[in-house]
Amino acid sequence: MTLFPVGITGGLTYMTGAVISTVLQIFLLIPAVKLAARTRKDPCTLAFERGKNFGRATTLAFLLYFLYEAFRDIGDLAYFTDYFFAVNMTRIMTVLCVVLTAVYAARLRISVLGRTARITFAGVIIMLAVIAAGAAEDMDITRFDYAVNDLPAELSKAVYAEFSRCECLALFSFLAADIDGDPEKTAKFYLIAKGAMITLIAGMVTSVLGTFAFAEKLPVFTLAAASENLITERSDAVFLIIWVMTGIVKLTTLLYCSARCLRLLRPKDSDIGSVFLAGLIPTAAALPLLLVYGWEKVIYSPRPAAPIIILGLILPAYLLHVSPKSAHEREV
Amino acid sequence: MSEPYFNNIKKQLLRADLKTNLDIINSALGKTADLNIVNITICKTDCAILSIEGMASSQLLAELVFEPMTELAAKDPTTSEIIKMLEKHSLMSTDRQLTTDFGTLFELLFSGFAAILLDGVPRAVCLGIQGFEKRSVSVPEAEQTISGARDSFTETLRTNMSLVRRRLKTPALRFELLKVGKLSVTDICIAHIEGRANADTIKTIKQKFQSIELDTILNAGYLMPFVDETYSRSVFSAVTVTERPDNACAALNEGKILVIIDGTPGCMLLPTVFADNFRTMDDYCEKPFYAAFSRWIKYISFLLAVLLPGLYTALVMFHPEVFPLKLLLNLAAAEVATPYPPVVEMILLMVLFEIMREAGVRLPRSVGGAVSIVGGLIIGDAAVKSGMVSQPLLIVVGMTATASFVLPSLYPAISVLRLIFILAGGFGGLFGIAVASMLLIFNIAAVDQYGTAFTAPLLPLRPHGLTDIFSRAGFRQLVKRHTTIANDNSNVQ
């Protein structure tokens, strides 16, 4: 919802890429959800059971990835809030508000985060409905760019770009064991919903802004600003509220996971201590870049897909391979 | 007399010698002025009839105790015949208890029983002849309805139990009595419908009550921190207090647990969910379409009461481009004429409103009207005319205040959240509102009571419970077992 991947030029290509990427993600997540269903333990705990050093390395890998994503999330929230919205707050204050809220929430149980995420998801749908209703007059199907020079290359670029932004695979791999009921169903539902949402947003933005959408820093914001209804002149206010809320939910989940990793590495740490530390590290890393106005370098830097493949696919697949089968599976 | 000494006496057994018993009682109770001891001799047996002034009815004492005892004296009975008659053959009172220890004897005396002690018998016969002053059942004041019942709980435990029993004549309705409070020894009754309420929850609640170390229990609020598992974690409470027996019965029917406390007209219901605050008895007297409409009005009122002042402040101060041009010009003209920023105006007016509300609640009704005239007309009008506050802002405050009165059970949470949202909107604009909204959602989602999430039946989703949340379920659906809370027996008809 923040910005489209760098280097993509066509809305239709990106939408197709998002759909293919979603299908790919569903397949890639199979080992992780099967592992969770079989063991009901997160990959770090399973790795610790296989060996202390292996456990530490696995936990550290997850921790570093979560902290990196939290760092990007904090920075993006502060940067775009400062850049687009007339809020009389310094970047430090913005970061502090967001991080303290996330730290408060990351102390709670994962079920609370799940409920909050679902309420926020409902907010996203309402926001999109408001924006779409207000911008319906400006939507035009001819603005989709059908002409592509090298379709396979553009498509693979879009699939990779979308896949490299899919940090939720690593999160799912880590949290799948905490899901009530069938982790596979939940993961599929989430990924399909996310894919549908991305496709819908890209479609909406492209149908109004055309190829200019991919040159915008915050394309949905631009669309919301152009969307008017009977009550308000623009809908960017709704977008801002929901965008900040989704950002906080994501940050909270990342801090929750980071804190869990920290507690696995340092079992003596208290809950609140580990959550604070998890919040402090990415904040301390993001603040200098934000204060010297260097965050743009981070925004447009390429996002590596390797950690997602390792943490979301290879590691769970290995653990699935080495973990003993359940009695039910043996019977089958 | 020190409390430990009193506690030691309570554990002691009654003696066979009447004089010793009376000495111990007098010593333990410090010859308290409200203890009445009537000594009589029936043939050669010394008897003492004990009661507490004001707690036992003088008329019942005369009719049910003195008169039969006098008649018995005429028959010249022995001690064993007297005790046999009192314990086995007499129908002096519907509530007869035998006690062998001083602790129980004191509890019964202070609950309005008359105790008969005989010389040579190491036990007392206690007869329930309560006659203390009590308020009669009256119209509910805090939970008004248009078409619902007009009776409300009173301060008397037994009366409240009867109000529930009168509506639920099923043998599955269970009342369990407990005593809580070291000094007050308050009677508490846990009511539930067997097979519907979760047995583990009842057990847990009983354990929690039994572990309370408080000296006195004077109202439901004293018990809330002990039974509300998220009392200090959230501004919302999953334990609600009701003064309506019909509400209590509806909740019991859904598998919730009712706690009746002697001396307080507010009974506790638990576990409850957020959506329960939006349901009233009137909903079930109206057709479903109107009940659903009324329910949505309540949801909108909650959002308005919490968000509107903060949202207005944020939009006027930081995002005026959102308003249509005509409205924007009017707002700008109104705000330019006032000396303070909107956030200060809003906080001032909200605090003033809360002061007036508090004054209206505490003052007698005859004077309360004067407060609203002074507050609403004089201060409001004068504030606008003097240019201290803008007119649009006053409209917002008025709308907010009216909306907040729609949900009396959520008022404490609403009034605090409203101020938080004003501050968030005033200092952070919509960014602040978003952050505050997240805190609010986390706060609601964090409440979890005895296995029931406060956000149920929406989250976790239970479609059956959902039918009575956003609309009002029809009675054909309500015939099926329906509840908003998590329950192992939820499919039981």
Domain ranges of chain B: 3-128, 157-283, 287-446
> Does residue A32 fall inside a structural domain?
yes
Residue of A89, A105, A245 lying closest to B434 (CB–CB)? A245
Whether A240 is covered by a domain: the verdict is: yes
Q: Which residues from A are below 8 Å from B440, CB to CB? A: none
Q: What is the DSSP letter of B287?
A: -
- Return the residue of B nearest to A104 by Cα: B439
Pick from A289, A286, A280: nearest CA to A103: A280
- pLDDT, tens digit (0-9, with 9 covering 90-100), for A33-83: 999 988 999 999 999 999 999 999 999 999 999 999 999 999 999 998 888
Q: Which helix (H) or strand (E) holds B83?
A: helix B79-84
CB atoms A108 and B446 under 8 Å: yes
Q: What's the rounded Cα separation, in Å, for the pair B24 and A215?
A: 93
Asked whether B109 and B32 are in contact (CB, 8 A), the reply is: no
* pLDDT of the residue at B465: 73
State which residues form the domain around A311: 11-322
pLDDT at position B144: 83
Question: What is the predicted pLDDT for the residue at B7?
Answer: 66
For residue B413, the distance in angstroms to the closest alpha carbon of chain A comes to 19
Question: Does residue B332 sit at the A interface (CB-CB below 8 Å)?
Answer: no
A195 lies in some domain = yes
Q: Given this model, what pLDDT does residue B63 score?
A: 86
Best residue in B328, B442, B452, B462 to probe A by mutation, most A CBs within 10 Å? B442
Distance CA A35, CA A317 (A): 8
The pLDDT assigned to B487 comes to 56
Of A192, A239, A245, A252, the closest CA to residue A29 belongs to: A192
Does B327 contact chain A (CB < 8 Å)?
no
What end-to-end distance do the CA atoms of chain B give, in Å? Answer: 56
Q: Do A244 and B318 touch (CB under 8 A)?
A: no
- The number of folded domains in chain A is 1
Q: Which residues of A touch B429 (CB under 8 A)?
A: 85-89
Q: Which of B321, B343, B440, B441 is the best residue to mutate to test the A interface, defined by the most A CB atoms within 10 Å of its own CB?
A: B441
Predicted pLDDT at B99: 92
| Predicted pLDDT of residue B1 | 45
Would you say the ipTM is above 0.90? yes
CB A42 within 8 A of CB A174: yes
| Interface touch A116/B460, C-beta < 8 Å | no
Query: Do residue B429 and residue A245 have CB atoms under 8 angstroms apart?
Result: no
Residue of B327, B430, B439 to mutate, testing the A interface (most A Cβ within 10 Å of its Cβ): B430
Residue A95 forms part of a structural domain: yes
Residue A259 in domain: yes
Comparing CB atoms, the residue among A86, A115, A237 nearest residue B445 is A115
Structural domain includes residue A115: yes
Q: Quick check: is A332 in a domain?
A: no
How would you write the pLDDT of chain A (332 residues) with one tens digit per residue? Answer: 677 777 777 788 889 999 999 999 999 999 999 999 889 999 999 999 999 999 999 999 999 999 999 999 999 999 988 887 766 788 999 999 999 999 999 999 899 999 999 999 999 999 999 999 999 888 888 888 777 778 888 889 889 888 888 888 999 999 999 988 888 888 899 899 999 999 999 899 889 988 777 777 788 888 888 888 888 888 888 899 999 999 999 999 999 999 999 999 999 889 899 999 999 999 999 999 999 988 988 988 888 889 999 999 999 999 999 887 765 565 55
Cβ-based contacts of A119 with chain B (< 8 Å): 441, 445, 455, 459
Question: Which stretches in chain B have pLDDT values below 70?
Answer: 1-7, 91, 480-484, 486-493
Indicate the pTM of the whole model: 0.87
Q: How far is residue A200's CA from residue B104's CA, in Å, rounded to a whole number? A: 72
Substitution target from B307, B438, B448 for chain A, most A beta carbons within 10 A: B438
List pLDDT tens digits, range B154-183. 999 999 999 999 999 999 999 999 999 988
Q: How far is A244 from chain B (nearest CA, A)?
A: 6
How many residue contacts between A and B have a Cβ separation below 8 Å?
Answer: 105
SS3 content of chain A, % helix, strand, coil (to 5): 80, 0, 20
Q: Give the Cα separation of B92 and B67 in Å (integer).
A: 10
Interface of B with A in 204-263 (CB under 8 A): none
